[in-house]
Amino acid sequence: MSDIPKHAVIFCHPRRDSFNGAVADAYCAAIEEIGHEVCLRDLYRMNFDPVLKDEERPGEPNFRLHADVEEELRVLAGASVFVLVYPIWFGTPPAMLKGYVERVFGSGFSHRDMREEHRNRLLAGAHLLSLTSSGNTKNWLDEQAQWLPLRDVFDHYLKTIFSMQSDEHVHFAPINHQSPPRFIDENLEQVRAAARIVAAKAASDTHRRQTGKLKLRP
């Protein structure tokens, strides 16, 4: 792992010029200003295939990884921060992002590995940050019992099964065509603040690893 922390930004929105696109750009710019490495994966522009193939399921006798997944693992290798940037649709992340989690994050990682708390080769020891938006307010999401279940079944669950160090979630709402520019700018400043916080964690991990003080579960 490099002495310079690497941040993998997984951006999932059909429009590049969307608010979510601005969030991804603001995060990447803040990280580059700090001096860390950043890797942006724009799933829609990549035409990422979210459909898990039968032979990609761990434990299958004909198990193999497809070339696109192998390439993602190569590009993401060594990342100490994983940032998910997406809109909340019908109470959950977009299907393409869910497919990315299944095919890339979970590649070769079986239910037995989860149960026995094995280390995930890509994500173990890393930090997870989610930057999301919704057209309705967060209070409305709470009233519909959407917010806490999302945090539990996505953020907290991924952090636990993949042996990640932390999971944080910054949500922006309501984001729609009527959102004033000042409100958008304030939200993007929150993105930059979140980037600085998680970058400090990653830098601390690097220092502790160099001094032998960072101990990861085998």
Q: Is 159 part of a structural domain of the chain?
A: yes
Q: CB within 8 A of 31, min separation 6: which ones?
A: 7, 37, 38, 195, 199
Q: Residue 20: what are its φ and ψ, rounded to 5°?
A: -60, -35
Helices (H) and strands (E) in the chain, counts: 9, 5
Q: Is 17 part of a structural domain of the chain?
A: yes
pLDDT band at 209 (very low <50, low <70, confident <90, very high): confident
Give dist(CA 151, CA 179) in Å, integer. Answer: 25
> Domain containing 87 — which CATH number?
3.40.50.360
Q: Are 21 and 53 in contact (CB under 8 A)?
A: no
Lowest mean pLDDT among 42-46, 94-98, 140-144, 214-218: 214-218
Q: Are 18 and 175 in contact (CB under 8 A)?
A: no
How many domains, the chain? 1
pLDDT in tens, 57-66: 988 888 999 9
What is the share, in percent, of the chain residues with pLDDT greater than 90? 85
pTM of the model: 0.94
Give dist(CA 80, CA 98) in Å, integer. Answer: 20
E strands of the chain, at which residues?
6-11, 37-42, 81-87, 127-133, 166-172
- Whether residue 18 has pLDDT greater than 80: yes
pLDDT in tens, 126-183: 999 999 999 999 999 999 998 999 999 999 999 999 999 999 999 999 999 999 999 9
Q: Is 144 part of a structural domain of the chain?
A: yes
Q: Is 215 part of a structural domain of the chain?
A: no
Q: Is 216 part of a structural domain of the chain?
A: no
Structural domain range at position 148: 6-210
